[in-house]
Amino acid sequence: QVQLAESGGGLVHPGGSLRLSCVASGRTFSLYDMGWYRQAPGKQRELVARIANSGNTNYIESVKGRFTISRDNAKKMVYLEMNSLKPEDTAVYYCNFPNYPVSWGQGTQVTVSS
């Protein structure tokens, strides 16, 4: 059974930074693309950043230049470095496999507020 566990969220001021981490168990991690998603209150969950098993990355327009996704296949972990955070980045952040999604983890809350 594949399990996902996210961590690293918190409360930051606008312009601040956070680094999110996700560990995946129960799957041959290196074979799969990984993604970071977020869900803001009253909104649908959206895919924010994606990293292929090749290492290629993609981002939604609103986070380009501010967020960086990376992965460590040996540790079965994926990271999201978030800089220049804005209030509109406030959401619960989740990781999952975009092509072969599994049950969602508990997510990690990111709140950007002055």
Tens-digit pLDDT profile for residues 82-112: 999 999 999 999 999 999 999 999 999 999 9
Please say whether the beta carbons of 110 and 45 come within 8 A.
no
pLDDT tens digits, 33-77? 999 999 999 999 999 999 999 999 999 999 999 999 999 999 999
B/e letters for 9-30, b = 16+ CB within 10 Å, e = fewer, are beebeeeeebebbbbbeebebe
